[in-house]
Amino acid sequence: MGFGIAAILVCLQVSSAVYDLGSFQNGLQKTLFFSTDEFALANQFKSVRSSPEAIVVINPRHNHWVPCLTGNPVAMGYPGWLWSWGISYGEREKQIHDILFGGPNAETLISNLHVSYAAIQKGEKVGDHAINQDFFESRFKKVIDSNGWSVYSLSERTISPSTSVR
């Protein structure tokens, strides 16, 4: 009796694997991790970045092209990765939000965290709040503007901080 149940279970398992392989052949698998535009952005970023160790601030979401395709470290990655390793990320998450939303201490945090670049998609949100792209646009040099993405060099300002408007 035990052999018969085991044989049935093996047949079910093999048939599900065969079905899954058939879906690959028939084009039913539609998982796309990165678009061709994201591969192009990654290559473009690699050509303008100051170093492969330069820290980038991104919207901390899963499968972001910066850490996955360029290898550059990010100021904070996907919270699910951090949580699963037992890393307490609450304070860092608040810091990243302050930077992305252009909070009053954003420039201090950029300096303290040694962030060199910001990669922001047009209209991108963190939760329900839009990233403050005007904050980056008005202060930092845009080094990439392509396919709805902007990458800013946070070490290159568009206006000197000592310049006053009168």
Contact between 110 and 136 (Cβ < 8 Å): no
31-44: burial string, b at 16+ Cβ within 10 Å, e else: eeeeeeebeebbeb
Q: Whole-prediction pTM value?
A: 0.77
The per-residue pLDDT for range 53-78, each reduced to its tens digit, is 999 999 998 889 999 999 999 999 89
- Beta strands across the sheet bearing 149-157: 55-57, 115-121, 149-157, 140-146
Would you state the structure tokens that stand for residue 66, as one six-digit string?
A: 């910066």
**CATH, domain 36-157, list 2.30.110, 3.30.420, 1.10.3470, 3.40.50:** 3.40.50
Question: 21 pLDDT exceeds 70?
Answer: no
CB atoms under 10 Å from CB of 160, counted, come to: 7
Would you state the structure tokens that stand for residue 122, as one six-digit string?
A: 């047009």
- Per-residue pLDDT, 10: 76
Residue 6's alpha-carbon distances to 16, 31, 157, in angstroms, are 15, 33, 68
The per-residue pLDDT for range 116-158, each reduced to its tens digit, is 999 999 999 998 999 999 999 999 999 999 999 999 999 987 7
